[in-house]
Amino acid sequence: MTATRIDGKAHAARLRARIAEQVAELKQAHDLVPGLAVVLVGEDPASQVYVASKGKQTVEAGMKSFEHRLPADATQAELLALIGRLNADAEVHGILVQLPLPGHINESEVINAIAVKKDVDGFTVANSGRLATGQRAMVPCTPLGCLMLLRDQMGDLSGKEAVVIGRSNIVGKPMASLLLGDNATVTVAHSRTKDLPEVVRRADIVVAAVGRPEMVKGDWLKPGAVVIDVGINRTEAGLVGDVDYASAVEIAAAVTPVPGGVGPMTIACLLANTLTACCRANDLPDPAGLTG
């Protein structure tokens, strides 16, 4: 029996359709249009493509998209001044500064200059702390998308054994917080973890977010596990995840593919967070089913 291929692309399209409906209602009832500002420093081709696709999907959902491109040699002061203007702009409900930033810029200073309520990536210290302590936060898009796929696949996650591979501030740690919030038993594994295959073997849920092409093998998995692959690795063989998909589908119950798994969910969740930020900025209730 081969595993279910979790269709993140189709799931994300349904999510975007729901968001578009709620955006239309917000316009009707309150004459509000959510706005997302994306800031791109430098000319990295992959980032260009990615930012263009975010802009297109933002507009398709009925929201406003504002793109700001700065040259690779822009100063940190210029970037901070731009963020200051976006923080003060009433048409902008969400701000995303595309990472990574050029080496001469202090990433953490820039991210933490974003108004907490407009931090649709959920990367500020304030939002990270709020999520970790169970307070209402803006939740990082990739972990939020993974949580939605897991709930859709498994229903209640209560009491499930989850292993998150990777401890980054943008995926691994917030993913662990979200799984704890859903009452899973969570292990965070990383590069110093001893006998990773043995740790993974006890998991009902595996979230792989390490950035090592096809590292997680099918024979590491517990039969029936649900596997979420966050990896986006460009190799000579093309785009591959952190999971060896071919061997994983022989053992798992369900696996996300790369491409077409978590990636499209990340962008859909960015739109969801922008809508949420717009509602909160106007003291309206959170949109239904979008905030985790």
Ligand X SMILES: Nc1nc(=O)c2c([nH]1)NC[C@@H]1CN(c3ccc(C(=O)N[C@@H](CCC(=O)O)C(=O)O)cc3)C=[N+]21
β-sheet bridge partners, residue 97: 39
Catalytic residue among 119, 121, 182, 204: 121
Tokens 């740690």 belong to residue: 173
Count CB-CB contacts under 10 A for residue 82: 20
Number of neighbouring beta carbons within 10 Å of residue 291: 18
Q: Is 125 in the site for ligand X (CB under 6 A)?
A: no
Choose between 174 and 263: whose C-beta lies nearer to ligand X: 263
| 135 tagged catalytic | no
CB of 210 to ligand X, least distance (A): 15
How many Cβ atoms from other residues are within 10 Å of residue 211's Cβ?
A: 15
- Lookup: tokens for 167: 């401890």
Q: How far is CA 59 from CA 12, 35, 50, 198, 203, in A?
A: 15, 9, 15, 46, 39
Asked if omega into 71 is within 30° of 0 (cis), the reply is: no
Task: Show the binding pattern over residues 188-217: x = contacts ligand X (CB under 6 A), - = does not.
Answer: ------------------------------
Instruction: Give the shortest CB-49-to-ligand X separation in angstroms.
Output: 7
Binding of ligand X by 128 (CB under 6 A): no
In the complex, the smallest distance separating the C-beta of residue 271 from ligand X, rounded to whole angstroms, is 12
If one asks whether residue 266 binds ligand X (CB under 6 A), the answer comes out as yes
Closer by beta carbon to ligand X, 162 or else 265: 265
Residue 31 known to be catalytic: no
| Triad 153, 156, 161: Cα angle to 5° | 85
Taking the C-alpha atoms of residue 205 and residue 179, their distance in angstroms, rounded to an integer, is 10
Cβ 262 to ligand X, closest distance in Å? Answer: 6
Closest distance to ligand X from the beta carbon of 157 (Å): 23
Give the residue from 92, 106, 97, 147 showing the smallest Cα distance to 266.
Answer: 147
Angle between helices 172-181 and 141-154 (to 10 degrees): 40
The yes or no reply on residue 239 touching ligand X (CB under 6 A) is yes
52 belongs to the binding site for ligand X (CB under 6 A): no
Give, as one character, the DSSP assignment of residue 119. Answer: B
57 is catalytic: no
- With CB under 6 A as the rule, give the number of residues binding ligand X: 16
The enclosing H or E element of 185 equals: strand 185-189
50 vs 220, which CB is nearer to ligand X?
50
Q: Which two tokens stand for residue 114?
A: 């974003």
Cα end-to-end span (Å), the chain: 32
- Which residue among the candidates 54, 118, 160, 173 is catalytic per the annotation? 54
Among 23, 36, 86, 96, the residue binding ligand X under the rule CB under 6 A is 96
Residue 69 bridge partners (DSSP): 40
Contact between 110 and ligand X per CB under 6 A: no
Candidate segments 68-76, 146-154, 209-217, 263-271, binder of ligand X by CB under 6 A: 263-271
Residue with the CB atom nearest ligand X in the bound state: 263
- Is position 6 annotated in a ligand binding site? no
> Interface residues with ligand X (CB under 6 A)?
50, 96-99, 121, 141, 232, 239, 258-260, 263-264, 266-267
Tell me the binding residues for NADP(+). 166-168, 232
